[in-house]
Structure 1
Amino acid sequence: MAAQQPRIGLIDDPRLLAGAAGGLVSALAALWAFRGLPAGLGLFWLSPLPLFLAGLGFGKLALTVAVGAGGAALLAVTPGLLPLLLWLALYGLPVLLLVALGLRAGPRIALTTPLALLGLWPAGLTLVAAVLAADLGGLEAVMRTTVELGLTRMGADVPAAAVDQIVRLNAAALALWLGIALAANAAAAQAFLGRRGLALAAAPQWREARLPAWYPALPALAGIAWLLADPADALLPLSLSLVLAVPLLLQGLAAMHRRLARHSARLPLLILFYVLILVFSLPGALILVALGLLEQYGRRNPPANM
């Protein structure tokens, strides 16, 4: 009697099963937040985690299935295309690109190009938003209306000068939030998979992250465009300059962790630095960007007392 052949079908492929499960869980977390249910904000932060688990544990095919399954689920249960487009723009497509760029040939996950993508992707979204807002009075008018509506709903009475400041920094704040959310979920997924021997590639040295040599020129060029722009049209180049500087800020954070890695008071110093960054947000961000530039173009192996 011939030996029974193992079944090989779509439902027997672990990559497809993991991808479908990851996409559905991610879509459910996003939908929970879209409906305004309790703990929705926290679940929205964790929405990319199942996607990273599928991609870093089962490969690009599983992640593609996850994005497709999650998108189909949101399209089926939500009215209109806005929830689907938000989920794809914030999580689905960037996670797909990050994993594809990170899981290249090599024993470890690559960090250089994915780190640059954390600035390039929000910059692209900013350009798309500017194009879509052209018929609604421009990007600044749309952002100002959105900020004022949000402040009104919160019952906050904010001076006009503060509203102007929020409008200027709004795109950069969203880009920083997105970059931190994606990086944190990617690190958590890789750590979870690595402890169980399921990761496709070894974890990278997160503290050694460094941008491509050409990348710092992009925020500099956008900053020059902002300085030369007419004041009425200055918001777009300013937003692009700040958004593109987010990877430099993240590289500065990585450099700070690396320089304190062997310090005896590492934990108290890190807590102190993070508190100072939160209290003095803008000066702290500028210092981190400067540290990122120093890490990019300075000495490769600074002394421990630096």
Structure 2
Amino acid sequence: MPKTILIAICAGLLSLVAAMPALNGAPGGLMLFYVASLPIYLTGFAFGVTAGTVATLSGFVAAATLGGVLVAGVFALVHLLPAFTVIRQAMLQRTAPDGHTEWMSPGPIVASLSGLSAGLLLLAGLVFMANGTGFSIVVDDRLTDVLKAMAPQMPEAARKEMVDAYAPLLPASLGSSWVIMALVSATIAQSILARAGRNMRPTPRYANMVLPDWISWALVGAAVVSLIAGGEVKFLARNLTLALAVPFFLLGLAVLHQWARRVRRGTLALVAIYLILFIVGWAGLLVTAGIGVVEQWAGIRHRFIGPASGTPPHDDE
């Protein structure tokens, strides 16, 4: 057996070992769960798509063997599917006319991952509606069950108030967290490999990220439906809109990082921006996503900060 394949198999098993405590409900397993896919990203970015694919398959087979179909399905959905998607996209390359290698830029990777998240939400919503059970009702019921299990002494009125507050955007929140978790793990893996000199591709210039046009039209379409529809369709479209807004939030952050490079005490300005985002919550996230939308359609980095190098879908390395 080639050494690379053996490493990939071990990476998939190590990923499962990190995820299993949380999958089994063990206390303290959540932190490991968040970084469980890191071994797979390290393998894929160091040895290529084939090794990354072997790592994901070995993790899935081991999860199905040890934990059953349900555990394997959750593990695959949360960790293996996004890892495979990111690795496959990130390792795409082409030879430019001048002979140098161009790699897939981060914009299409982020858009693909968010599109996958939105697609899964859409599929879930359509399945529930086809079965005669509203998506919003299922979310309300599941969130109520979780709150009852976590805080059985909570008054019914307080529990209902929490459900009413969080349930309307819970699918989008979970989908957005899914995307961010995958991107953070991928970024950490690339950073580790770059420091060790084992990375196959150069580290992307995230501050120069450019999104593909299709994600803009998908966002606009979902937003329009959320405004004109009602009931379950409105619930689904609203969550799709927020899930598709994640790339624009990251693009907005890229614009702010570019701006910080041009001002005095830019690091302090970035710290203040992130602190404000943490304090104001959803409002700050939406404003940042709005900056990303303006950048995508009007190119404010080019007009006010300076042109972003590279054109989609590849980095200008």
TM-score by length of 2: 0.86
User: Which of 128, 133, 140 is the matching residue for 1:137?
Assistant: 133
Question: Take 2:46 and 2:82, find their aligned partners in 1: how far apart are those partners?
Answer: 17
1:64 is matched with: 53
CA distance in 2, matches of 1:130, 1:247: 22
Secondary structure at the aligned position of 1:214 is classed as helix
Kept after mapping to 1: 8 A contact 2:85/2:113: no
CA gap 1:36/1:264 in 2 versus in 1, 3 angstroms: farther
User: What is the aligned counterpart of 1:119 among 114, 117, 120?
Assistant: 114
After TM superposition, give the deviation of residue 290 of structure 1 in Å: 1.0
Query: Which of 84, 88, 104 is 1:100 aligned to?
Result: 88
TM-superposed CA distance for 1:264, in Å, is 3.5
| Mapping 1:108-187, distance limit 5 Å | 108-134=103-129, 135=131, 137-155=133-151, 156-157=154-155, 158=158, 160=160, 162-187=162-187
| Secondary structure at the counterpart of residue 215 of structure 2 | coil
SS in 2 for 1:98: helix
User: Secondary structure of the residue that 1:301 maps to in structure 2?
Assistant: helix
| Pairing 1:87–2:75 present | yes
Cα shift at 1:164: 2.5
Structure 1 residues 241, 263: CA separation in 2 closer, same or farther (over 3 Å shift)?
same
**What's the offset of the Cα at 1:36?**
2.5
Q: Could you tell me how far apart the structure 2 residues matched to 1:198 and 1:269 are?
A: 33
Percent of residue pairs identical? 28
CA contact (8 A) 1:109 1:201 kept: no
* Cα distance in 2 for residues equivalent to 1:213 and 1:276: 30
Normalising by the residue count of structure 1, what TM-score does the alignment of the two structures yield? 0.89
Measure, in 1, the Cα distance between the counterparts of 2:24 and 2:161: 33
Equivalent residue letter for 2:34: W
Alpha-carbon contact 1:107-1:202 (below 8 Å) kept: no
Alignment partners' CA distance in 2, 1:232 and 1:192: 44
Report the Cα distance in structure 1 between the residues aligned to 2:301 and 2:285, rounded to whole angstroms.
22
Q: Secondary structure at the match of 1:81?
A: helix
Aligned to 1:240: 240
The 5 A counterparts of 1:221-260 are 221-260=221-260
| Bigger Cα displacement from structure 2, 209-218 vs 162-171 | 162-171
Q: What residue is the counterpart of 2:30 in the other structure?
A: 41
Q: Distance in 2 between matches of 1:109 and 1:237?
A: 30
Deviation at 1:270, TM superposition (A): 2.1
Any conservation in 1 of the 2:255–2:301 contact (CA below 8 Å)?
A: no
- Aligned position for 1:211: 211
Other-structure match for 1:75:
64
Q: Which amino acid aligns with 2:287?
A: I
Partner of 1:6: none
RMSD: 2.0
Aligned mates of 1:231, 1:136 — CA distance in 2: 13
Distance in 1, matches of 2:76 and 2:102, equals: 29
Displacement of 1:93 in angstroms is 1.6
8 Å CA contact 1:172–1:242 kept in 2: the answer is yes
1-side partners of 2:87 and 2:231: how far apart? Answer: 39
Letter in 1 for 2:21: W
Query: Structure 1 stretches of 5 or more lacking a match?
Result: 1-9
Equivalent residues in 2 for 1:259-270, closer than 5 Å = 259-270=259-270
* Structure 2 residues without counterparts, runs of 5 or longer: 94-100, 307-317
**CA separation of 1:109/1:38 partners in 2, compared to 1, >3 Å: closer, same or farther?**
farther
Matched pairs, number = 293
Matched letter for residue 58 of structure 1: F
